[in-house]
Amino acid sequence: MGKSVADHEFERALAYGLSALDLLKRGSIPPYPQFYELLYTYATGVNPALNNRINAIFASGQAPTTTLAETLYEEFLRSDVNDRMSMVSQRMHVRIQDVHDAIDTAMATANAYSGSLQSAQGDLERAISAEDLQLLAARLLTETRRMQDTNRTLEQKLEASREDIAALQRDLDDVRRESLLDPLTKIANRKSFDDGLREAVSDARQSGNPLCLILADIDHFKSFNDRFGHQTGDQVLRLVAMTFKSNIKGRDIAARYGGEEFVAVLPSTDLKGASIVAENIRQAIHAKELLKRSTNEKLGRITASFGIALFRSNESSGAFFERADRCLYAAKHAGRNRVVTEETYEAVLEDIRTGVSAA
């Protein structure tokens, strides 16, 4: 009963790793790091485009080969969010350098114009002929026009740069948003959750307001996936994600923690309120009967188990998470498809010890 978050993380990663190695073995693909990464990513299901492509390959009966693995790796894993951010950053650097160059040119022209004016002032302080005065006026007029042209060019470049930089900023914002979303379910990903939990814990410490954490795990998801295929499994993950998202509000955060695990951070929510949210989500998931779209075949219902903890002001985010994870673990061992909170945790443990399944 005393498994820690690290234990669960290890077991989850080990399961993904064993699945990746099995796929490598079945396809006679060398277990090079890049091929292992490819199939490990497939096993986690975090890249839906990659999973769709590999599922289509399996369905077609095409034999996996090293060449095919190389092609898939280059297509799906070479280019990631970091690459895109780097590319946008380089584009912005080029544009800013263009602005600097335009400003340097304008400054050089302005300095030359200032020199011409000083020279003209010296000439005017001396007695000069009408002809020389006319030549001086013509020279100053030419210099003034050159200065006007340079300023006009600078304004145009600054305006173009302003628009380009605004577009690049929008691109960076898009990439940042994408980096915080799970690509399959379109809700917050693990990184976004970690950041959000840290911020929520800090706010709760300062304000003294309650903060609850819900952890959920889809029951028997691996066997469901094995039976009906990864595409149907992906639909289940999307369904659970949308159910989470539709049952939270305001500053609440719903995220896919990894695999078939989901989390919700509920600021300004006590244990009773969080229990109501979790129970609503549990019932909504269980109420939906799954159909295979291609055949209208009934696939039955899915269920999920939930654990809830209330933040304590003297604990770390990790300890907070671990207490919620213990409640989830108890819900699993008590028969699944139920919500276990800190208040019900000890009673559930006693039921498990005595062999009684809570209703």
What does 343-354 look like in DSSP terms, one character per residue?
A: HHHHHHHHHHHH
**β-pairing verdict for 261-267 and 253-258:** antiparallel
What does 211-236 look like in DSSP terms, one character per residue?
A: EEEEEEEETTHHHHHHHH-HHHHHHH
3-state secondary structure 201-217: HHHHHHHCCCEEEEEEE
- H helix count then E strand count, the chain: 12, 7
Tell me, yes or no, if 260 is annotated catalytic. Answer: yes
Return the DSSP state at 50: H
On whether the CB atoms of residues 232 and 221 are closer than 8 A, the answer is no
What does 247-280 look like in DSSP terms, one character per residue?
A: T--TT-EEEEEETTEEEEEEET--HHHHHHHHHH
State the catalytic residue, choosing from 260, 279, 289, 343. 260
**Active site amino acids:** 260
